[in-house]
């Protein structure tokens, strides 16, 4: 069962993410050194580092320069007091992430949002030890064959001996040593490559760890049980939110495992224009996997939302082609992300659907069961979990104690001594005794003070 599902996912991920035994040496890759000898226009990189890219100038709807400067100042102020910001002003962080983190500050903000900076502080020598250790030959061979496939037209990854491919090799090798039971998943390559575009290798490694273990647990292991569960959840959400599209996909024989793994496993890094990918990542690191479902639902609606679009896709191949051929004008970051955030899917709705699908999972399914409870819904939950675990700073935050003291027992009023029936000698004896302040009830009720009674 698991092997069949994994092979279906590998086919859905395309020729770049096939099984290790099917990989072939592609000397004509776009990332080879021969590309650097081509015509001049193809050697010019855009503002994101892609050679010959079309993002040299900001697109329509891009915020003006003065607005970007204002947002940069807001992020500098928030990150300078990050603990206070996350404790008291997370809603502002979420809204700023939805607007897009300024490109100059993503290297500072991404590790803070996902909690990678805390992991790095608590394990200062871990990455260095992993980077210096020899890797598993099986994984090293597979990783080496995949390096040139990750963004081959980006200036960081065009050369096999460049810092981009070498850093990617070290990060992926370190993860296989850090989690040997999981090993290497080919979908981790695009994720690690995007991280390396903005972060040094050590910070990129810890961000990759957080994504694989906190945001998307069960996604990159050998059984991919998390992807299988989320595929069923996505189908249920389609049935509820886009019933006509769901009916068309079912009639065309297009199951979620034919298109969803490439989207979710790679965090849309292979499916959207790069400026839009960055905006999706900003929101994903802030709000969690809910953003991936919203993006997926938006893409399906854009591809098959109208009757004309569905009539033009009568079969499986046409439907898959429509999902992969959405016009770029509809994927422009500002327009697209506004539609993503308007999808009627809350965190409560998602958790309710996950619980419903967990009940319906077949008991005979091979592999470990999904563990959605291990997934944290975004930056706020990660911050709170690290606070409770005492991993923020050098000491565990002190939890105030509430001490309830019982009310003091009211003292009885002081009464005038009774002298009736007592001898003069008894009165003298009591007056010469040591004075007792505020005598208790037990002394008053004792028989020793009545020894002179007749």
Residues forming beta bridges with residue 50, ordered by sequence position = 154
pLDDT in tens, 373-389: 889 999 999 999 999 88
pLDDT in tens, 172-201: 999 999 999 999 999 999 999 999 999 999
Indicate the pLDDT class of residue 371, thresholds 50, 70 and 90: confident
Q: What is the 3-state secondary structure (H, E, C) of 343-403?
A: CCCCHHHHHHHHHHHHHHCCCCCCCCCCCHHHCCCCHHHHHHHHHHCCCCCCCCCCCCCCC
Indicate the pLDDT class of residue 239, thresholds 50, 70 and 90: very high
Indicate the pLDDT class of residue 416, thresholds 50, 70 and 90: low
Dist CA 192 CA 169 (whole Å): 10
Pick the CATH number of 223-362 from 1.10.472.80, 3.90.1170.50, 3.40.50.720, 3.30.420.40: 1.10.472.80
pTM for this model (two decimals): 0.78
Q: Which residue has the tokens 């050697």?
A: 43
53 versus 334: the higher-pLDDT residue is 334
Question: Residue 67 is inside which H or E element, if any?
Answer: helix 65-80
pLDDT for the residue 417: 61
Q: What angle do helix axes 106-114 and 188-198 make, rounded to 10 degrees? A: 130
Q: Measured between alpha carbons, how far is residue 422 from residues 58, 434, 449 in Å?
A: 107, 19, 11
pLDDT in tens, 274-295: 999 999 999 999 999 999 999 9
Indicate the pLDDT class of residue 405, thresholds 50, 70 and 90: low
Q: What is the mean pLDDT of residues 92-113?
A: 95
Q: Which residue has the tokens 């040094």?
A: 200
pLDDT in tens, 51-94: 887 665 666 667 788 889 999 999 999 999 999 999 999 999 99
Q: Which residue has the tokens 């394990």?
A: 123
In this model, does residue 40 exceed pLDDT 50?
Answer: no
pLDDT for the residue 44: 84
Domain ranges, ordered by start, for the chain: 223-362
In this model, does residue 217 exceed pLDDT 90?
Answer: yes
């Amino acid at each position: 069962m698991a092997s069949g599902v994994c092979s279906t996912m590998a086919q859905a991920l395309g020729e770049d993410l096939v099984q290790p035994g099917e990989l072939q040496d592609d000397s004509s890759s776009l990332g080879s050194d021969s590309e650097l000898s081509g015509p001049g226009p193809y050697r010019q990189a855009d503002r994101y580092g892609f050679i010959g890219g079309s993002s040299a100038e900001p697109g329509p709807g891009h915020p003006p320069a003065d607005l970007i400067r204002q947002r940069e100042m807001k992020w500098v102020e928030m990150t300078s007091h990050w603990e206070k910001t996350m404790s008291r002003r997370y809603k502002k962080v979420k809204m700023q992430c939805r607007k897009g983190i300024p490109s100059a500050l993503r290297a500072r903000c991404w590790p803070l949002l996902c909690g990678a900076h805390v992991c790095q502080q608590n394990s200062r020598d871990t990455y260095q030890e992993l980077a210096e250790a020899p890797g598993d030959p099986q994984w090293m061979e597979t990783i080496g064959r995949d390096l040139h496939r990750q963004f081959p037209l980006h200036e960081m990854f065009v050369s096999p001996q460049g810092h981009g491919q070498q850093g990617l090799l070290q990060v992926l090798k370190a993860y296989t040593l850090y989690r040997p039971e999981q090993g290497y998943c080919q979908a981790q390559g695009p994720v690690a490559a995007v991280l390396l575009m903005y972060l040094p290798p050590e910070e990129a490694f810890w961000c990759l760890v957080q994504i694989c273990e906190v945001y998307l647990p069960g996604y990159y292991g050998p059984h991919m049980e998390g992807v299988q569960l989320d595929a069923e959840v996505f189908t249920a959400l389609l049935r509820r939110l886009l019933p006509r599209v769901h009916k068309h996909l079912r009639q065309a024989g297009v199951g979620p495992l034919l298109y969803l793994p490439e989207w979710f496993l790679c965090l849309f890094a292979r499916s959207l224009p790069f400026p839009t990918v960055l905006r999706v990542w900003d929101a994903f690191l802030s709000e969690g996997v809910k953003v991936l479902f919203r993006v997926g639902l938006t893409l399906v609606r854009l591809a098959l939302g109208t009757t004309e679009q569905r009539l033009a896709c009568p079969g499986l191949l046409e439907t898959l082609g429509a999902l992969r051929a959405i016009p770029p004008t509809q994927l422009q970051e500002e327009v697209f992300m506004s539609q993503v955030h308007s999808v009627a899917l809350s965190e409560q709705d998602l958790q309710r659907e996950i619980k419903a699908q967990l009940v319906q999972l077949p008991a005979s399914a091979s592999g470990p069961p999904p563990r959605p409870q291990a997934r944290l819904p975004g930056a706020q939950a990660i911050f709170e979990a690290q606070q409770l675990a005492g991993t923020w700073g050098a000491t565990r935050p002190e939890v105030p104690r509430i001490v309830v003291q019982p009310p003091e027992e009211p003292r009885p009023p002081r009464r005038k001594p009774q002298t009736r029936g007592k001898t003069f000698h008894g009165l003298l004896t009591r007056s010469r005794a040591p004075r007792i302040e505020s005598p208790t009830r037990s002394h008053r009720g004792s028989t020793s003070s009545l020894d002179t009674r007749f």
